[in-house]
Chains A and B, each alone.
Chain A
Amino acid sequence: MLIFTLKRFALAALILFVAVTLMFLMIRAVPGDPVQIMLGPRATPELQARLTAELALDQPIFRQLIIFYGNMLQGDLGTDVFSGRAVTQIVFQQLPFTLELIFGSIIWSAGLGIFLGAYAASYPNTLIDRMVAIASVSFVAAPAFVVALLSLLLFAVHLRWFPAIGAGNGFWDRMEHLVLPSFAIGLSWVGYIARLVRASMLEVLGEHHIRTARAFGLAERRVVLVYALRIAILPVVTVIGVGMGFLLSSAVFAEIVFARPGLGKLVIDSITTRNYPIFMGSVLVSTGLFVVSTALADLINAWLDPRARSAK
């Protein structure tokens, strides 16, 4: 188990390393002087010189990369070109908003998806099952940012049920601000998870141990909810872990549409202002988030499934 964990994280670290290196080289490959691009043509020579030194742009590219990694390992991702604040500080200030949105989305959609999938699997080939099937295919297809825009139009602008912009203050206000964006992000997940759970549930319900549980007169509710569902939800964990990149992508759009603070908004702003350190920092953190969540999903699965736990 320990070796399994270590291996998983080693691979994650390797992927992160390759990704960051690629990104770094890509930025440096842009034609033109990066300092000029970032500061604009009218910046003072002193300012240009300071930034050049700060980013070690006068060094050969290989050394730049080593300096970058050296700083990164010390938790230093550089400073904001404009405000001079540490990039890590800015990124970690925005991160909670994005995490709040992602978890909010996945909790409601996984909950509803698991329920619908399990329900449909318990009554296969009935009208309910068909309706769930069609609904989930349609939900899966709904792109998050289009759903975000349409729900903004309908529920915030037209019906005025929920606030349209921002993240809110205080617990209930924040929850209220979370409703529409997490609805937009979660909708396609409901369909996806419902289909996944239905398929794995049907498989599990056909296994011998379910027949055993029934042969001991266990209540059908307990057979379905405990004996079958505990196994059927295992793939959901993996899918959510791997889907973190997809969730982050949707979060970028949801944050723009609902003018919420967060990593997505930070990235877009840093692109339009050519603020490379901020851009690099937020991409690094979101990539790291993806890598960690994939590895975490494996670990959670190993924890939920005793068979995987003792697998060598």
Chain B
Amino acid sequence: MRDRSFDPTDIAAGVVFIVLGLAFGLSSLGLEIGTALRMGPGYAPLVLAMVLTLLGVLILLSGLRSRRGEPIGRLAWRGMAVILPAPVLFGLTVRGLGFVPAIFLASLLASMASPRMKPWQALALALAVTVFSTLVFSYALGLPFRRFGPWLPI
């Protein structure tokens, strides 16, 4: 890595901050800016967005000049594909199917994250999590969730 003259993580971070800064900046332009005496809703966001963009540029520049480039490294593709949709799945099903099936589905999906988990283990674990959460959250703590929702025939 010694011969590389830039740092990919810094460059990527710089770009991310610049993009976010510009996005926030542009959307605060639609707001009333106001004056220093009576600041409008857009005043602080605009200033902060400009600062963020500037910081992004500085990080980008330091990445371009860096002597010790470090690679970004492995990405957890399988994890992202499974872990991130799990809460979404819970959200999509909790109203319709109800709390119990939703938590079962979400934990079953999440248990696919590791290649080490065998299917029957995943099933058993999801079942255990469901039973435990139903007992604790629904019965003991009395959170107001419908255990089984209208999509089910029961």
Whether both chains belong to one complex is answered with no
- Taking Cβ atoms with an 8 Å cutoff, the residues of B that contact A are none
